Structure 1
Amino acid sequence: MKFSKDFKRQMVPEWIEAYVDYDGLKHILREILHYKLSKRQETPMRSLEKKLSLHRTLSGLHRHPNDPRSNGDLENQVTGKGRAIEVEFFRRLDEELNKVNAFYKEQIDAVMDESALLNKQLDALIALRIKVKRSCGNGASSHGQRPRMPFRETEQGMDAISEVEMNTQSPLEVSSNSLSGSQTMNVILDEINQDDESAAASEINTFEQSSNGCQDAGKNSARQQDDPLEILEKVKINNTFESPLETIKGLFKDSKDDELCFKKDELKKAEGKLRVVFIEFYQKLLHLKQYSFMNLSALSKIIKSYQKITSRREARLYMKKIDKSYIGSCDEANNLLEKVEATFIKHFSNSDIQEGMKSLRPVTKKEKHSVTFWCGCFSGFSIALLIAVILRIESKKLMEKEQGASYMVNIFPLYSFFGYIVLQMLTYAADIYFWKRCRINYPFIFGFKSGTQLSYREVILLGTGLAVLALSCFLGNLYLDLGSKTQNLKTLTGLFPLGLVAIVLIILFCPFNIAYRSTRFFFIKSLFRCLCAPLYRVTLPDFFLADHLTSQIQAIRSLDLYICYYGLGERSQRQSKCHGHGVYNALYIVIAVIPYWLRFWQCIRRWFEEKEAMHAYNSINYILTIVAVIIRGIFELKKGMAWIVLSLVSSAVVVVISTYWDIVHDWGLLRRHSKNPYLRDKLLVPYKSVYFAAMALDIVLRVSWMQLVLEFNLHSLHRMAVTTVVSCLEIVRRGMWSFFRIENEHLNNVGMYRAFKSVPLPFNYNDGEEEEGSRKDD
């Protein structure tokens, strides 16, 4: 693989603008090379020109020496042009070096500040461990943590152990001035296998001597002489309201609620949070190390290429300049990586090196050939089953008979539910494919655990697998219900749709590690958080899923039919019988409102936490949509000219507002003063026409949503067909919306170099220092 391709592949997508412009520098080198080649080709012509010049001189036809068209001046002009290109090359090279130096220094300063914050968090955790051990009254380590020191029952022994343990638990507490020494790291790594008190105490002294260059050395020594449990007097629990119960308690919060209660559950929760924080911090350091290595490699290859083309000594001089630069000489990232590894292994993995490194290192997603094979098989089976269903309907001429049309109206909505889900999955697979093509970091945006995100092939595999199940049951229904010899099996075939729902639910909630368990549980967790809005803090997967639910109104209403058919005993009757039940009619309206109601409360929660008026305006949009859906639901049940007018007016208002919100806020387009008129400054799709086409298509598909209001006195079968087509178009529109929404989110992350998620810290210090409860993104 060429270095340029590997360089692009290894880039952190959110930092792409902070990398060396390798292609730009290579372009300038090509200009230098073309100039050199053209100069060599002109050499034979110059010898001929010299002979002609000698002939002109002898014949008295030579030019004046001051004539700018003379040969000597021409040669100087050409030479000057070549040097100008090289000067431009080094000017650009300086700009790129300064850019990466500035960015790398900014990131290193940020991680150094963060390491100091993690030191204090770790001190608090260790003090809490000691306090919990004391309250337990035994020397066993709580929650699986091995005892680091021999336990003594006397108070003096406990105090000595506590002091030694506290002094050995701050391997990250060093400043940037002391990180260059390797002695500190060796001392910390040796601590992992030390269990006796005297050895640990001697290592503490060595650590203190090796950290004399620390700016906070005096402060640390003073702190180490005190009782480490005094830290707990300055610490409170950082409550982030991550559960419904915590949110409800937060409304009636008392200052005493954040006090430490020194229980095992509290310790376990704090350990879990800090473990996640250390893993995320380690990932950030890995990215910084990779950033340094790739940029230095790019600069080195550029200099070598320049030296190969020009054979000038400036190349070696510039390599020395790169080596002395901040990114070339700074080793803080490597030192911090080793310290975090040692700390994590000792305190969060029971000194098990293999287990600790497995938790720290990111898991690489590997493509499997079996996925591609079964994806093709299920796709072929789905197409074959779909053709078989169409042929069966045509052979029985169901569309031409009133009884057949009634049967289709009765049975089709039960299976269209799965059709909507399959279409949603296929559009999501297409989104994943184009996100990867455009280098959009969708796993980070959605918060997928490293190595668990599904590829587009795997999503297609799940979608086509569900299509095979649904089409097989539908075809079975058609053969058994419409066959002359199988009339006595109608009771059994009526349970096919319900059995299909049961199979899907069993697979979805299966606790075993099969069928992409982590993805299934991630979906269940996000769905549960959506249903509990506004009791949970809203994350992007939560409102992203809720937005998709608003495009699945017909699928959700199909669940209402399941309740009618199997709960109210109408599965053998026509669908019109369901409208005779007040429960069904109420659910018909309420179920359609639920997704918009959830989005409304999510907007309220975000407005309450983020204090941004945009979320309040968006909540008003969903209130108007709820009103429009209720009016349309009543119109479908009661009819009447007044209701149709109200439906058209309310739906038109919602379409205008929602379309504006899609294009301007969610997609970030229609910027009049941007570099790309009426788009935005940064675009990931190389063709601008795609964005204009997407905006036009979004408007058309939004307007088609109003088509459901206008029935045009259609037959029930045709009305069902129109409803199905419009619902499918809405799902396709939502899939298109998803691509540009995540693209806009990715560009926002790129603009702020935000490549890591914010993780809440377990403890909050109240010692007079202003500390954030959660880490800020880069």
Structure 2
Amino acid sequence: MKFGKELTSQMVPEWQEAYMNYNYLKTILKEISSFQKQKKSRHSTPPYFSPRKEKFSKRKSLYRAFSGLTNRHGNYNDKDKDIEVISVSEIEEHEYKNYQTTFLRSPEEGVENELTFFRLLDDEFNKVNNFYREKVEEVVLEAEELNKQMDAFVALRVKINDPHFCSSSLNNTPRPSNSGASMLAEIQEVEEKPERDQKMVSLTILNNVKINVVPQSATSTLKTLIDGTKLDLSFSKGELRNAQVKLKQAFVEFHRKLRLLKSYSFLNQLAFSKIMKKYDKTTSRNASKAYLEMVENSYLGQSDEVIKLMTRVEAVFIKHFANANRRRGMRDLRPKAKREKHRVTFFVGCFFGCSIALVFAVILTVHARGLLKSEGRDQYMTNIFPLYSLFAYIVLHMLMYAGNVYYWKRYRVNYSFIFGFNQNTELGYKEILLLSSALSVLTLAAVLSNLEMEMDKRTQSFQALTELVPLGLVIVILSIMFCPFNIIYRSNRFFLIVYLWHCVCAPLYKVAFPDFFLGDQLTSQVQLFRTLEFYVCYYGWGDFKRRTNTCNQSDIYKTLFIFVAVVPYWFRFLQCLRQVCESKDYGQGMNGLKYLSTIVAVITRTIYVQRRGMTMRIVAATSSGIATIYNTYWDMVKDWGLLCKDSKNPWLRDRLILPNKSVYFVAMVLNVILRLAWMQTVLDFHEAPWLHRSMVIFVVACLEIIRRGIWNFFRLENEHLNNVGKFRAFKSVPLPFSYEDGDKQL
């Protein structure tokens, strides 16, 4: 792999603009090389051609190459190596030192390109050097903050584990305030002392400390609303355990930040070395030595704060959070990248092949039995088809998500950081395809086993076993979903369950990106929730053996039919209210109004379908039109960040990930078209000669899922680019302790 591609593959995606622009500098060197070739061709005269002379010259050049009489590049002699080509000087600008290169050769034709090269090279180096300095200063301050947190944690542990320890016997000598590196060094010194000396850590710090209560559950949120945001230390083991969990997460994230900073320094130094060697080779000069000496002596090359901090963080973490087990501690600090398994690819192909075979089997069975012309066709489409459509919605949504993951990874959208996935357990697109294809095989096999249109004339009913197949499949899926054993991606299942619970309990949980992203997914699965309601009615109150139901005749069912459609939008509305109250983000208030308008549109459309009437038709059309315009505007402008008039890319945005701009315009047009699917309700397009009403509902629901899948990609792209613009590559971990007299954290 060429270095340019390797550099791109190893970049921190959110810091991409802070790296040295290797490819651009490489294009300038190519321009210099092409100019020199043209210059040589202009000044050289065609020699007299002689095969004997050519053979002799080749032999002579070969001899020189083997005898060592020629240098590596062949265009400058040993004396030229000692002639200085450039000089690099320091310039004080603001608080940082910048570097400027002076070209020492006499002006000649073509030197302008080389001057441009060094000017851009200096700009790139100053950018990299200053960015690295800023990030190192940030981690030093963060290290000092973590050190204070560890002081409080060690004191709390001593207080709880040894409550009879007399605090009056402690050494209360205040320690000097130093940098983060030295502060962590003090922790290391404390932990290396004997147990009695560890207790000499001042416990008086606990008198000025309070526990940070971050609402992580519905009950803790309610307590916080009643008692305030901070609580006094009660010196309980629960507080110690919670503090240990939070500090462990903080140390893991801090160590990851240090690793990425170390990688950033190494990759950029290697990039400058590579580009200078290419310059020497292209121009036959010897400028790399002087420039690389400057790089080595700069802050980027000389700073060792990151390495020292890594060593001390590892020592503290192993001692306090890994029970002095280095292997376990380093495994937590440096999780290994997940390896792709060939058996996953094999089973994906196997399940998709089986799915295609089952689709053909269903088609052939329908054609051979003439089921489309059967008298029981309407009965089947009304009662059985909606039951199986539930699984089709799930499979389609998973397929769209698998496609999103594939393209996010291809275009380096850091979706795992945005969602907060665990590096060791996150699902790739192949694993998602495996689950979706396995579910499709089960569903199609169930459809094939239950593909009967005629009931038994003797019993006037269908076989109970086959009629219970859809319900059995639902029970199997729910059993797998809530299975406590470590099988079938347990961590991912629990991750989904946790954030589903957050949506259900909105607004009692702090709203993170996965919360409202999942809430938006639920708003596109309204028909799935209505199908679940139909399951309860059909198997609970209907005569499923005769494939009949009276659901639509029940007022309770009709009321719940509206309620279950409104619930996902209500969850999102409550999440928006939580964000407005918590972060004072009044833009989320406008977002909440968007969901309220959608709730009104859903209610009026459903009432129109149930009761009809011209008045309700006008009300449903008006409310749906307003909601569609509002939602479409929010999708494109707020969620996707597009339709910017003054951007570098007209009507798009300044930063784009996809190379083809037309894709964005196609996505916007598709979003508008697919959002207009509600018109089939208002225009009474419920049934066509070739489509049953249940099939029309199914198609419209699938179109909404496809629209949501397209929305997902551009929503994550916009979020990723916002992180890139702010160089935000790490998640903030709440710390357990704070000062008593303010919100400033220890």
What interval of TM-score do these two structures reach, taking the shorter chain for normalisation?
Answer: 0.7 to 0.9
Q: Which of 617, 632, 642 does residue 615 from structure 2 map onto?
A: 642
Name the CA shift for 1:11/1:254 in 2 (closer, same or farther; >3 Å): closer
Name the CA shift for 1:687/1:549 in 2 (closer, same or farther; >3 Å): same
Q: Tell me the distance in 2 between the aligned counterparts of 1:658 and 1:544.
A: 15
- Superposition map of 1:570-589 within 5 A: 570-573=543-546, 577-589=550-562
Name the residue aligned to 2:29: 29
Q: Which of 433, 436, 439 does residue 460 from structure 1 map onto?
A: 433
Q: Which of 233, 240, 243 does residue 207 from structure 2 map onto?
A: 233
Name the residue aligned to 1:401: 374
Is 1:410 the equivalent of 2:383? yes
Q: Tell me the distance in 2 between the aligned counterparts of 1:303 and 1:486.
A: 88
Aligned residues of 2:143 and 2:180 also touching (Cα < 8 A) = no
Deviation at residue 461 of structure 1 after TM alignment: 0.8
Question: What whole-Å deviation, never above 9, does each CA across 1:434-478 have from its counterpart, x for those lacking one?
Answer: 111111000000110122211111111110100011111111011
Name the residue aligned to 1:759: 733
Name the CA shift for 1:589/1:188 in 2 (closer, same or farther; >3 Å): closer
Name the residue aligned to 2:364: 391
Name the CA shift for 1:188/1:129 in 2 (closer, same or farther; >3 Å): closer
Name the CA shift for 1:767/1:248 in 2 (closer, same or farther; >3 Å): closer
Q: Which of 139, 144, 153 does residue 116 from structure 1 map onto?
A: 144
Deviation at residue 706 of structure 1 after TM alignment: 2.4
Question: What whole-Å deviation, never above 9, does each CA across 1:259-298 have from its counterpart, x for those lacking one?
Answer: 1100111111111111111111111111100100100110
Q: Secondary structure at the match of 1:336?
A: helix
Is 1:321 the equivalent of 2:294? yes
Question: What whole-Å deviation, never above 9, does each CA across 1:617-651 have from its counterpart, x for those lacking one?
Answer: 11111111111111122222222222222111111
Q: Tell me the distance in 2 between the aligned counterparts of 1:81 and 1:454.
A: 57
Q: Which of 444, 469, 473 does residue 442 from structure 2 map onto?
A: 469
Q: Which of 701, 715, 720 does residue 727 from structure 1 map onto?
A: 701
- Superposition map of 1:241-260 within 5 A: 241-254=215-228, 258-260=231-233
Aligned residues of 2:580 and 2:588 also touching (Cα < 8 A) = yes
Q: Secondary structure at the match of 1:693?
A: helix
Q: Secondary structure at the match of 1:706?
A: helix
Name the residue aligned to 2:129: 101
Aligned residues of 1:705 and 1:730 also touching (Cα < 8 A) = no
Name the CA shift for 1:734/1:398 in 2 (closer, same or farther; >3 Å): same
Name the residue aligned to 1:539: 512
Deviation at residue 79 of structure 1 after TM alignment: 7.1
Q: Tell me the distance in 1 between the aligned counterparts of 2:211 and 2:437.
A: 48
Is 1:175 the equivalent of 2:179? yes
Q: In the alignment, residue 766 of structure 1 is paired with which amino acid?
A: E
Name the residue aligned to 1:373: 346
Is 1:711 the equivalent of 2:684? yes
Name the CA shift for 1:316/1:446 in 2 (closer, same or farther; >3 Å): same
Question: What whole-Å deviation, never above 9, does each CA across 1:414-446 have from its counterpart, x for those lacking one?
Answer: 000000100000000111111111110000001
Name the residue aligned to 1:39: 39
Deviation at residue 485 of structure 1 after TM alignment: 11
Q: Tell me the distance in 2 between the aligned counterparts of 1:22 and 1:758.
A: 31
Name the residue aligned to 1:425: 398
Name the residue aligned to 1:672: 645
Deviation at residue 46 of structure 1 after TM alignment: 8.8
Q: Secondary structure at the match of 2:582?
A: helix
Q: Tell me the distance in 1 between the aligned counterparts of 2:686 and 2:44.
A: 87
Q: In the alignment, residue 133 of structure 2 is paired with which amino acid?
A: K
Q: In the alignment, residue 374 of structure 1 is paired with which amino acid?
A: F
Q: Tell me the distance in 2 between the aligned counterparts of 1:480 and 1:264.
A: 64
Q: Secondary structure at the match of 1:764?
A: strand
Q: Tell me the distance in 1 between the aligned counterparts of 2:452 and 2:693.
A: 25
Name the CA shift for 1:188/1:549 in 2 (closer, same or farther; >3 Å): closer
Aligned residues of 2:398 and 2:433 also touching (Cα < 8 A) = yes
Q: Tell me the distance in 2 between the aligned counterparts of 1:129 and 1:676.
A: 57
Q: Tell me the distance in 1 between the aligned counterparts of 2:181 and 2:569.
A: 55
Deviation at residue 81 of structure 1 after TM alignment: 3.3
Name the residue aligned to 2:88: none
Q: Secondary structure at the match of 1:683?
A: coil
Deviation at residue 712 of structure 1 after TM alignment: 3.9
Q: Tell me the distance in 1 between the aligned counterparts of 2:504 and 2:395.
A: 22
Q: Tell me the distance in 2 between the aligned counterparts of 1:530 and 1:107.
A: 36
Q: Tell me the distance in 2 between the aligned counterparts of 1:26 and 1:628.
A: 56
Name the residue aligned to 2:634: 661
Name the CA shift for 1:90/1:78 in 2 (closer, same or farther; >3 Å): closer
Aligned residues of 2:277 and 2:288 also touching (Cα < 8 A) = yes
Name the residue aligned to 1:55: none
Deviation at residue 349 of structure 1 after TM alignment: 0.9
Q: In the alignment, residue 270 of structure 2 is paired with which amino acid?
A: S
Aligned residues of 1:546 and 1:599 also touching (Cα < 8 A) = yes
Deviation at residue 117 of structure 1 after TM alignment: 0.8
Q: In the alignment, residue 731 of structure 1 is paired with which amino acid?
A: I
Aligned residues of 1:659 and 1:698 also touching (Cα < 8 A) = yes
Name the residue aligned to 1:332: 305
Aligned residues of 1:480 and 1:486 also touching (Cα < 8 A) = no
Deviation at residue 36 of structure 1 after TM alignment: 2.8
Q: Tell me the distance in 1 between the aligned counterparts of 2:368 and 2:15.
A: 60
Q: In the alignment, residue 175 of structure 1 is paired with which amino acid?
A: S
Q: With structure 2 as the length reference, what TM-score do the two structures score?
A: 0.87
Q: Tell me the distance in 1 between the aligned counterparts of 2:682 and 2:239.
A: 55
Q: Tell me the distance in 2 between the aligned counterparts of 1:396 and 1:455.
A: 41
Aligned residues of 2:216 and 2:510 also touching (Cα < 8 A) = yes
Name the CA shift for 1:334/1:637 in 2 (closer, same or farther; >3 Å): same
Share of identical aligned residues, percent?
A: 48
Q: Tell me the distance in 1 between the aligned counterparts of 2:334 and 2:191.
A: 19
Is 1:344 the equivalent of 2:317? yes
Name the residue aligned to 1:450: 423
Name the residue aligned to 1:527: 500
Q: Secondary structure at the match of 2:496?
A: helix
Deviation at residue 408 of structure 1 after TM alignment: 2.2
Is 1:275 the equivalent of 2:248? yes
Q: Tell me the distance in 1 between the aligned counterparts of 2:206 and 2:182.
A: 28
Q: Tell me the distance in 2 between the aligned counterparts of 1:487 and 1:305.
A: 85
Aligned residues of 1:382 and 1:464 also touching (Cα < 8 A) = yes
Q: Which of 603, 606, 610 does residue 633 from structure 1 map onto?
A: 606
Q: Tell me the distance in 1 between the aligned counterparts of 2:525 and 2:719.
A: 23
Name the residue aligned to 2:17: 17
Name the CA shift for 1:482/1:430 in 2 (closer, same or farther; >3 Å): farther
Aligned residues of 2:542 and 2:551 also touching (Cα < 8 A) = no
Name the CA shift for 1:710/1:177 in 2 (closer, same or farther; >3 Å): closer
Comparing 433-442 with 310-319, greater Cα deviation is found at 310-319
Q: Tell me the distance in 2 between the aligned counterparts of 1:176 and 1:515.
A: 43
Q: Which of 276, 284, 289 does residue 303 from structure 1 map onto?
A: 276
Name the residue aligned to 1:505: 478
Deviation at residue 191 of structure 1 after TM alignment: 7.1
Q: Tell me the distance in 1 between the aligned counterparts of 2:279 and 2:181.
A: 36
Is 1:6 the equivalent of 2:38? no
Name the residue aligned to 2:574: 601
Q: Secondary structure at the match of 1:686?
A: coil
Question: What whole-Å deviation, never above 9, does each CA across 1:577-601 have from its counterpart, x for those lacking one?
Answer: 2112233222211111110010100
Q: In the alignment, residue 31 of structure 2 is paired with which amino acid?
A: E
CA-based RMSD of the aligned residues comes to 2.7
Q: Tell me the distance in 2 between the aligned counterparts of 1:294 and 1:731.
A: 42
Q: In the alignment, residue 202 of structure 2 is paired with which amino acid?
A: P
Q: In the alignment, residue 628 of structure 1 is paired with which amino acid?
A: A
Comparing 617-626 with 245-254, greater Cα deviation is found at 245-254
Comparing 336-345 with 627-636, greater Cα deviation is found at 627-636
Is 1:90 the equivalent of 2:118? yes
How many pairs were matched up?
Answer: 689
Name the residue aligned to 2:157: 129
Structure 2: gaps spanning 5 or more residues: 49-104
Q: Secondary structure at the match of 1:81?
A: coil
Deviation at residue 569 of structure 1 after TM alignment: 3.5
Deviation at residue 772 of structure 1 after TM alignment: 4.5
Name the CA shift for 1:512/1:159 in 2 (closer, same or farther; >3 Å): farther
Q: Tell me the distance in 2 between the aligned counterparts of 1:738 and 1:362.
A: 28
Q: Tell me the distance in 2 between the aligned counterparts of 1:570 and 1:484.
A: 16
Name the residue aligned to 2:521: 548
Is 1:701 the equivalent of 2:674? yes
Q: Tell me the distance in 1 between the aligned counterparts of 2:209 and 2:745.
A: 13
